[in-house]
Amino acid sequence: MGGAALGTVLFALTFMLGLPVALHASAPEGVAAAPAAGDHDDPPLVATRIPAGMQIRIDGRLDDEAWSLAEPITDFTQRDPVEGAEPTRRTEIRVLFDDDALYIGAFFDDDPEGVIAHQRRRNAGLGSDDRFMWILDTFGDGRTGYFFEVNPAGLMGDGIITPGSGASINKSWDGIWYVRTGLQPDGWVAEVRIPFSTLNFDPNLDAWGINFQRTIRRRNEEIIWRGWRRNQSLFRPVHAGRLEGLEGISQGLGIQARPYLSAAGDQAPSAGTGWDRDAKTGLDLSYSITPSLRAAVTVNTDFAEVEVDQRRVNLTRFPLVFPEQRDFFLEGSGVFNFAPSSGPRPFFSRRIGLVDGEEVPIRGGARLIGQVGRSEIGFYQLRTGTATLRAELGEEGAFEVPGEDFTVARLKQAVFQQSHVGAVYTRRAHASGPGADTPDRQTVGLDADFFTSSLFGRYNAQIEGFLVVHTDPLEGGWNRMGDHRTRGFRVNFPNDLVRFHASHRSFGTAYAPAVGFVPRRGFARTQPTLTIAPLLPSVDAIRRLQFSFFWEYLTDLEGQLLTRSANFTLLETQFESGDQASLEVKRGFERLLNPFTIRREADGPVVLDPGSYSTTEWELSGRTAGRRTVSGNASLVWGDFWSGNRRRVSGGVTARPLPGFSFSTNLERNEVRLPEGEFDTNLVRFNGSWDASPFTSFSSSIQYDDVSRIVGLFARARWIVRPGNDIFLVWTHNWLNADAVLGPDGEISERRRSFETLSRGGAFKINYTLRL
């Protein structure tokens, strides 16, 4: 069977297998039709309207008269450590509303001396703390929603829930809402106000999905209101309860203006340049066309406050992918998720406004994101300006990047209760500067995701498929489509005791979407994974054991074996304390078709010859629970590596001596011994932060690796004057720690003294948000 026919068969097979799965779970629309822990008749939570003349002061005390009008919910169920058991502590939740906002008042019975609250910085991970989480499914579709969390210290965390088989949350979304917390002799409280203007919602719904979950960290106890089975989750809105009674609510005029003012300066002494200073203003203006569909325009988009990427050492033949951190692209980004997240990536937002990690100015553009009925819509139209970027270390001069136009359109059509079919289109076109004869590059993709959380009554199952093609980047037009195409499917069974998935995908030899990301092409890959994770309730110290098997079989498009990998987790132990330990063994085969330069050394590059390589590698790892004042992790990898062997040692320590203070260090060392050459690599990272309050934070990081031989410092101060209004102060500094700089051929091209400043710069930025 030819490649084109195979791709068509695979994509059709996805629909043939997926339809019965989705139909098995099909039900009337709305959250009310979804089972919550096997019982869809659970009573709803009815929100109480605040009478005219009454007000709520968000002060973390719950002593306003209006709170006494709301009937609390207390019927929580333990999810961990004992599924379905009564919680060890009482939780009370009250919900009020007025025309403009939703209010949540929560009381958590506890011993104040046992409450753990290390973190204060917005969106910091709360795996170490007591916490209160809740979700709002404002479209009642059981697929999407908003996520919020707080801890006893008043930390605010939030995100967007996107459809999928697991807990897929975009936590970089920063909504505008308000919370205050407080300790009491009998526990702690949280008082929350969420403006309706922060949310997109369906104004015609008579009920939203809502759910609440509490973590008692010292016991590693999780209690939840609805959906308490381990196969369910807070992050799957289909298992949420119902919030009724919201009537007469408003987003106001639906207009939000977010102007900014920034001043920045940078210098590159190593290139002999002086200080380059710049001051600019810009604006993000959004309008809610409907309560569920929001349009925005941006002018002179600025990302001065964005943190630097974490440094990594790459000993593979393929490029690394770094996450998006810019707010403009993170808001509503879930609609652009395509097929399996590790799949073809026809749209990768870091292709816009970034070249090799260096910023290219975004002059302006428009965005449309939201829902119309059961359709999710996402659209970008952006223009970047020309830019002159410094060459990489070891290369001379600079290069000019042209201005370009980017178009991205995405449609997801919900089918049945938890499934969708979708399409994506991208276009990248020359706008100004060099390369005027570059043809437009276009990409079209189709995907399908059939998911159910009620297979045989209580199990999760999923089938996904995708097909993507793009135009010829050199000639333009839809030529040689087989070379510029990828397709595949995945079957997934993501459950608590047994998790299984199997996928098959293939990438054409010239597959390279202009606004996407692909690390490798010209191959076909089959990849099954099986994990078994039994609980051990009869063993006091151990909560769960885990065993897993991962297999990968990768060939070129002619069927020649390129990679074969079999990974076994022989034992992973999860202790009741929250500590973990595991032992893995990895058997691999790799065929090199071309020479591979794995490292450039002063005495010449280390080059692996074409041929076949078989390896066996072991890994022993462990980590301690994050709730401790001092916690850590460590990993030791040893065994075969290409034609020789490698030992990799990595680990980290985090200390939280006082609330709001955090210090951590992470180390990674590779010792590689090959017949072709020997070398070591080292990566060191130090992070420190002081969060004086949930609204004032000071953070810094220092990174060094001896591959680039660059020491990088990033420091940032942030003051949240009030949610939506921020002041940032940022400083970056990079030093070269080397006596010799290598040229592209691996030979010493230049001598320099150690710790010479390569670049440094600072920025000051003010954001202001006005809502009408």
Task: Write down how long the chain is.
Answer: 772
Q: Which residue did the predictor score with more confidence, 35 or 724?
A: 724
**703 SS3 class:** strand
**Res 121: pLDDT:** 87
**Res 483: pLDDT:** 86
Helical segments of 595-695, H only: none
Arithmetic mean of pLDDT, 727-738: 89
Residue 78, pLDDT > 90, answer yes
Band of the pLDDT at 744, cuts 50, 70, 90? Answer: low
Q: Which residue did the predictor score with more confidence, 6 or 254?
A: 254
Question: How confident is the model over 129-168, as pLDDT tens digits?
Answer: 999 999 999 988 888 889 999 999 999 999 888 776 555 7
Band of the pLDDT at 596, cuts 50, 70, 90? Answer: very high
Q: What is the CA radius of gyration of the chain?
A: 27
Segment among 12-21, 169-178, 441-450, 482-491 with least mean pLDDT? 12-21
**Res 769: pLDDT:** 92
Arithmetic mean of pLDDT, 359-372: 90
Arithmetic mean of pLDDT, 172-181: 89
Strand partners, 107: 92, 189
Query: Any residues with CB less than 8 A from the CB of 707 and at least 6 apart, and which?
Result: 313, 599, 681
Q: What angle do CA 764, 767, 772 make, to 5 degrees?
A: 170
Segment among 265-279, 372-386, 532-546, 587-601 with least mean pLDDT? 265-279
Mean pLDDT computed over every residue of the chain: 87
Residue 724, pLDDT > 70, answer yes
pTM of the model: 0.83
Sign of CA dihedral 556, 559, 564, 566: positive
Strand partners, 114: none
Segment among 300-304, 437-441, 578-582, 742-746 with least mean pLDDT? 742-746
Side chain identity at 232, as an amino acid letter? Q
**Res 436: pLDDT:** 78
Q: Residue ranges of the domains in the chain?
A: 34-244
Q: What angle do CA 623, 169, 300 make, to 5 degrees?
A: 115
**Maximum distance among all alpha carbons in the chain?**
82
**Res 11: pLDDT:** 44
Band of the pLDDT at 749, cuts 50, 70, 90? Answer: low
Question: How confident is the model over 631-675, as pLDDT tens digits?
Answer: 999 999 999 999 999 999 999 999 999 988 999 999 999 999 999
**Res 14: pLDDT:** 45
Q: Which residue did the predictor score with more confidence, 540 or 745?
A: 540
What is the C-alpha separation between 503 and 35, in angstroms, rounded?
29
**Res 222: pLDDT:** 95
Q: Which residue did the predictor score with more confidence, 436 or 424?
A: 424
DSSP codes, 678-733: EEEEEEEEEEEEEEEETTEEEEEEEEEETTTTEEEEEEEEEEEEETTEEEEEEEEE
Band of the pLDDT at 522, cuts 50, 70, 90? Answer: very high
**735 SS3 class:** strand
Question: How confident is the model over 95-107, as pLDDT tens digits?
Answer: 999 999 999 999 9
Burial class (CB in 10 A: 0-12, 13-18, 19+), 577: middle
Band of the pLDDT at 49, cuts 50, 70, 90? Answer: very high
Arithmetic mean of pLDDT, 442-458: 91
CATH architecture of the domain 34-244 equals Sandwich (2.60)
**Res 612: pLDDT:** 96
